[in-house]
Amino acid sequence: IDKSLEELFEEKIANEIRIEPKDWMPDQYRKTLVRQISQHAHSEIVGMLPEGNWITRAPSLKRKAILLSKVQDEAGHGLYLYSAAETLGTSRDQMINDLHSGKAKYSSIFNYPTLSWADIGAIGWLVDGAAIMNQVPLIRTSYGPYARAMVRVCKEESFHQRQGFEIMMTLCNGAPAQKKMAQEAFNRWWWPTLMMFGPKDEESPNTEQSMRWKIKRFTNDELRQRFVDMMVPQAEFLGLTVPDKDLKWNEVKNGYDYGDVDWEEFWNVVKGNGPCNKDRINTRVKAHEEGAWVREAAMAHAEKRARREAE
Ligand code: FAQ
């Protein structure tokens, strides 16, 4: 029997067979993947900045070496993700232009400042924790190159989360001033971290179709709930107080009820008006411009080699 390309595509999705770059796919599937993967890549690259801010001020040589490697890992994740997005036919130059012009989004979380060393612990513990919660299911996403990129990314994120938790534990077992620093960082990062999972399901225009295509395996609210349930016992272990007066165990749903996220703040940050949005983009644009000579040199070298090989 002759099946249409669309039927074959739907059959693969239904049977958990990965879609690969040269396979036929609906335009909208391609488009939403480029959107999500490129925004994910931008988040990794912009996400280097808040932590990069503390490399020169890390409290010991060991802490400095660890942070430096973590930030380098984020660069690597960005590169795998740009490569995965490129397999869908959009060039890296185009994606980077869209980031710099403000057309493409990146995670809201990276528009908040890192005010103390404890923020580096809080980012590792909370932000990488949220990243893992969101990205482990993406190992099973329907697009092959994205799913495969997530395997290694998630292994590295797990290490990142452990190092963040360990920073928090050291501070929480330290002097009262250190414990206070940890609590203040927790207060600053808790709510913005919950926003990383995206708008509530009923206000998320992309979730329904992305679930149907198995790009997303869980909805924004499902992942947010799992994250809260995972983090509350960890906060208790650290002796920290979750900054949410409405947080309460709910026996019936076997999970925590939690307070309302400030969605006005979320959209304000997404629209470019968070505390650090302008600074982040300016830093990226400047780095890109200052790196122009490296790209030119690499191109010249590649041409020279190609010419030599042709001779
Ligand atoms: N910030 O319809 P939905 C990391 C946008 S982890 C900004 O629900 P979707 C590791 C969304 O794009 C962070 N914008 O959208 C690291 C859409 O706008 P659009 C990155 C947001 O795609 C750790 C609109 O709102 N992780 O980098 C946010 O179905 C430490 C409507 O939303 C990923 O990107 C937000 N928080 O679900 C690095 C994971 N939330 O595009 C350094 C992959 C939503 O239509 C240090 N991405 N928007 O113009 C995803 O899982 C999904 O794309 C969601 C959003 C869940 C983020």
The residue nearest atom 8 of ligand 1, judged by CA position, is 204
Cβ(220)–Cβ(278) under 8 Å?
Answer: no
Q: What's residue 135's pLDDT?
A: 97
**What are the pocket residues of ligand 1 if the criterion is a CB atom closer than 6 Å to any ligand atom?**
35-36, 39-40, 43-44, 47, 74, 105, 107-108, 123, 127-128, 131, 134, 195-199, 204-207, 210, 216, 220, 270
Is the pLDDT confidence value at 281 over 70? yes
> Ligand 1 centre from 270 Cα, in Å?
10
Q: What's residue 1's pLDDT?
A: 64
In a mutational test of the pocket of ligand 1, which residue from 34, 39, 207, 284 has the highest number of ligand atoms less than 8 Å from its CB? Answer: 39
In a mutational test of the pocket of ligand 1, which residue from 29, 38, 43 has the highest number of ligand atoms less than 8 Å from its CB? Answer: 43
Separation between Cα atoms, residue 236 and residue 310, nearest integer Å: 65
Average confidence score pLDDT of the chain: 97
Q: What's residue 121's pLDDT?
A: 98
Gyration radius of the chain's alpha carbons: 21
pLDDT in tens, 24-76: 999 999 999 999 999 999 999 999 999 999 999 999 999 999 999 999 999 99
pLDDT in tens, 210-246: 999 999 999 999 999 999 999 999 999 999 999 999 9
* Amino acid found at 178: Q
Helix, strand counts (H, E) of the chain: 14, 2
Is the pLDDT confidence value at 180 over 90? yes
Is the pLDDT confidence value at 252 over 80? yes
Q: What's residue 272's pLDDT?
A: 96
Number of neighbouring beta carbons within 10 Å of residue 200: 15
> Ligand 1 centre from 43 Cα, in Å?
8
- Which residues share a beta bridge with 165? none
> Of all residues in the chain, what percent carry a pLDDT higher than 70?
100
Is the overall model pTM greater than 0.90, yes or no?
Answer: yes
| Chain mean position to CA 115 | 21
> Ligand 1 centre from 179 Cα, in Å?
32
Is the pLDDT confidence value at 163 over 70? yes
